[in-house]
Structure 1
Amino acid sequence: MTDTTWQEDAGRDLVRSFGDRMALFVRGEGSHLFDDAGRRYLDFLAGIAVDSLGHAHPVFVDAVSRQAATLAHVSNYFATPPQLALAARLKRLAGTGPEGRVYFGNSGAEANEAAFKLARLHGGSARPRILTLKGGFHGRTMGTLALTGKPALQADFLPMTPGVEHIDATIEALEAALDDRVAAVLVEPIQGEAGVVELPEGYLTAARRLTEASGSLLIIDEIQTGAGRTGEWFAFQRAGIVPDAITLAKGMGGGFPIGALVTFGHASDLFFPGTHGSTFGGNALATAVAGAVLDEIERADLVQNAAARGEQLRAGITGLGSPLVGGIRGAGLLLGVALTHPVAKAVVAAAQEHGLIVNAANDDTIRLAPPLTIGDAEVNEFLALFDASLATVRDALILDETPDATPDTPAEVPA
């Protein structure tokens, strides 16, 4: 035992790259979290689109317990039944056909590192260029940071891995940039870290047509949008296209670390022995848990639930009539609430005070990514807590913007 607080312990012992921790959570149940003082919070972030089934779901707990008691890890010199079953399931859900293949890692960044190497194997020296989008986020490793279209995140780690070019998220920019020296185009269907920003209408369809014409790979980063979050198993399916590869993580494991690269068609033959690997990737414990999570999403029709609850949340948030809400972006249960003022961090802080966990994707966007299991009760609870949080911030804005010379005149939040 020590006499220090958990905040002091965290400040002393944890790497400071994450900043100050906002709470100490000790337990979760369904869509709720409980802190060290026993206070209950509605979790509408779900570990940033990770906890697909919420917290301590019986299916998740049972899968961890059963597999841990049987076999956890044997290395990739060998295969295990959960690994093979999960690979087959992902191929079926993604619609790869029999020629598809799956590489397992431990995170989204590892999945995108594998995609980076897939692009290099495809391009060779004749195709040194890889295109990604400005504002995109693909990870924080040195390879995936080069793919990430956020110069501020790269600044302290220059020089970046060469060959990556970041272009505007328009069909015109893609058409202008593509040529026979481009190995791959890597995009998120919805840019979560940029503020839940959707691609322009028809972008993925155009990207598929243009990359096929140029002989480039089209790789879709489904790390935040996959596993049913947007109301389809994978967001690319909303466009009715077939990519060359997708990357997955987050919600696939429901809280257990796992990532994957799923390939289609000729891209499935690019890797050969010795070109990539991972000690822990695809171990029996991780793949068993992910298989159980995906099975429950399928069994309980949580993909359709994500679509329905997303529409319910859109209507409910709009119905609050708050002058701080300027619009809602996203799909399914990956939503961005656009604010009319750059007060997202204040809204997050107010929400936490009211017992609600949400996220500031940027200064003027609140990101919502609740468990796929939410129902009417959780939606209604969220709307009440979010309304109270917005009111708290709105009241503070009114106080701040009231002119000193006319204290008797109530100020209004500007439109």
Structure 2
Amino acid sequence: MFSQFALHERLLKAVAELKFVEPTPVQTAAIPPALEGRDLRVTAQTGSGKTAAFVLPMLNRLMGDAKPRVVIRAVILLPTRELAQQTLKEVERFSQFTFIKSGLITGGEDFKVQAAMLRKVPDVLIGTPGRLLEQLNAGNLDLKNVEVLVLDEADRMLDMGFAEDVQRLAGECKGAHQTMLFSATSGGAGLREMVASVLREPQHLQLNSVSQLNEGTRQQIITADHNQHKEQLVHWLLANETYQKAIIFTNTRVQADRLYGRLVATDHKVFVLHGEKDQKDRKLAIDRLKQGGVKILVATDVAARGLDVDGLDLVINFDMPRSGDEYVHRIGRTGRAGGEGLAVSLICHGDWNLMSSIERYLKQSFERRTIKELKGTYQGPKKVKASGKAVGVKKKKTDKKTEKKAPAKTATKRKTANRPKSDAPALVSRDGLAPLKRKKPTEPAAE
């Protein structure tokens, strides 16, 4: 029960109103030390309730009587607009019985309107690093009195090239403050550097090893000959799998638009989501999927993080993601909060090595699946021996005892006898009368 935590009664009232009964493992582990003001480094799978794990302690720290708002007291940094919008809704839901006000700053919105909102000084500011830094450089943002800084999906922000922006924004939080860093993966050296620079003696909470992520999701691969074959497989899966909602991931915007057009042409209700879509279209696509107006979303990795949609139980990787962490986030859109899901990756010859490296990273072996009606010729690389030589290729055995080497002169004669006559013209002397003998190739040229 959430009553076990030392939360303000108004927050517990909101929790009860939202019908939150049992805290998830990440909430049980993170909320108590967060309430104590500890810096946290938390790794937990997507859909595990991470947002509430940092929002509730943050709001509890900001609780108090209504006062004029003169400084921004908490900042939540996130990698994408969609995740920022979703987090804003969660903060507003949990703070509905309090005097705490929140604001949102992301790209794709009017800069001057956002500046006007900042002049009203929200208690909690939620945003993406790029646009927050623009407002900071314009003199519209003051972070000197921030009490709580949250970096959510920190590994994704690094992947998107926001490392310097995040460091700069964290550095602007001059006063003593609590920092909490959350992600679904352990990340690499870049994330370790960020942890070292922005967190002070953090408590590390590892809720899941990477091999335990998405245990409720079946993970399959289907081999394909080429992209047209992949498109046929997508049509077959959408026609024959039982699902409520599905996301199809591609690596490029061009491929997302192409696949979207193919599906629309076959009367599927589908939206497309990628970085070139304006904010209005992106919001419409997500809202229609959540409301059930469409069942299928074709998207690039802009939708791989933070997109929480009820009933999303099928993920298709048209293109294999470029890293194990990205794969974890993609398939994390399904099988959320203890539910079950299906993730199918379509593998051409160019995807096999990438798929194998992701299997090794996850310490898992994906289920191999064949669709009889669309079975292609490519079934994976030929098996090889440990030595790296193809199986079935036998080397001729030679008996060293009986093998005799031919004398060097004999070999030379045999080679000369079989050589075809040269078509090169004969060399003659300068007067054109006496033929000259050709020099042997091995003879040194005359000085």
Please indicate, yes or no, whether the TM-score normalized by the shorter chain is above 0.5.
no
TM-score by length of structure 2 reads 0.32
Higher RCO, 1 vs 2 (CA within 8 Å, ≥6 residues apart): 1
Using the size of structure 1 for normalisation, the TM-score is: 0.34
